[in-house]
């Protein structure tokens, strides 16, 4: 098993993202904000996999990012390819915490990790909402081992 596959084996949703020269900042490495954008991209792929867009279209309930944190582990430079992974690490009545891992192909190492708190939000009524049952079911089908919180 390759190092990259090993580092992402517990992440059910993965993708590759190219590093562009324009992602660099004045310090000649990828700017910190780009890592957050990469995390957003893989998080949206995770939400696609559990049916958030379809549910939102039918019910008006989707997710909204309540918080995000990132731990930078290694500077990434061009040329490189990022292998991104996303997985749920907890599930509540109206929220989920998604863990992101970004692995540099060039370094064969974790470049950054972070967590985003997604809260279910009714965009038609402009307020927090319970998680639609179909999203919960699809998430648990994708990741049966995710811890379910008793209360939020």
Q: Domain residue spans in the chain?
A: 3-142
CATH: 3.30.830.10, 2.60.120.460, 3.40.50.720, 3.10.129.10. Which one for 3-142? Answer: 3.10.129.10
- Size of the chain in residues: 152
pLDDT in tens, 74-125: 999 999 999 999 999 999 999 999 999 999 999 999 999 999 999 999 999 9
Where residue 51 falls (left for φ over 0; alpha for ψ -120 to 50; beta otherwise) is left
pLDDT in tens, 139-148: 999 999 999 9
pTM of the predicted structure, to 2 decimals: 0.94
């Amino acid at each position: 098993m390759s190092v990259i596959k090993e580092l992402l084996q517990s992440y059910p949703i993965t993708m590759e993202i190219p590093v562009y020269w324009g992602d660099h900042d004045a310090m000649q490495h990828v700017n910190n904000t780009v890592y957050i954008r990469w995390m957003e991209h893989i998080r949206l792929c995770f939400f696609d996999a559990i049916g958030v867009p379809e549910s939102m279209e039918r019910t008006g309930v989707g997710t909204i990012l309540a918080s995000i944190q990132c731990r930078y582990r290694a500077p990434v430079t061009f040329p490189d390819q990022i292998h991104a992974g996303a997985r749920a690490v907890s599930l509540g009545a109206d929220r989920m915490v998604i863990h992101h891992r970004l692995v540099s192909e060039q370094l064969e190492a974790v470049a950054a990790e972070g967590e985003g708190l997604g809260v279910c939000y009714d965009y038609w009524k402009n307020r927090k909402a319970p998680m639609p049952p179909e999203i919960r079911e699809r998430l648990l089908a994708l990741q049966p081992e995710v811890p379910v919180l008793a209360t939020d």
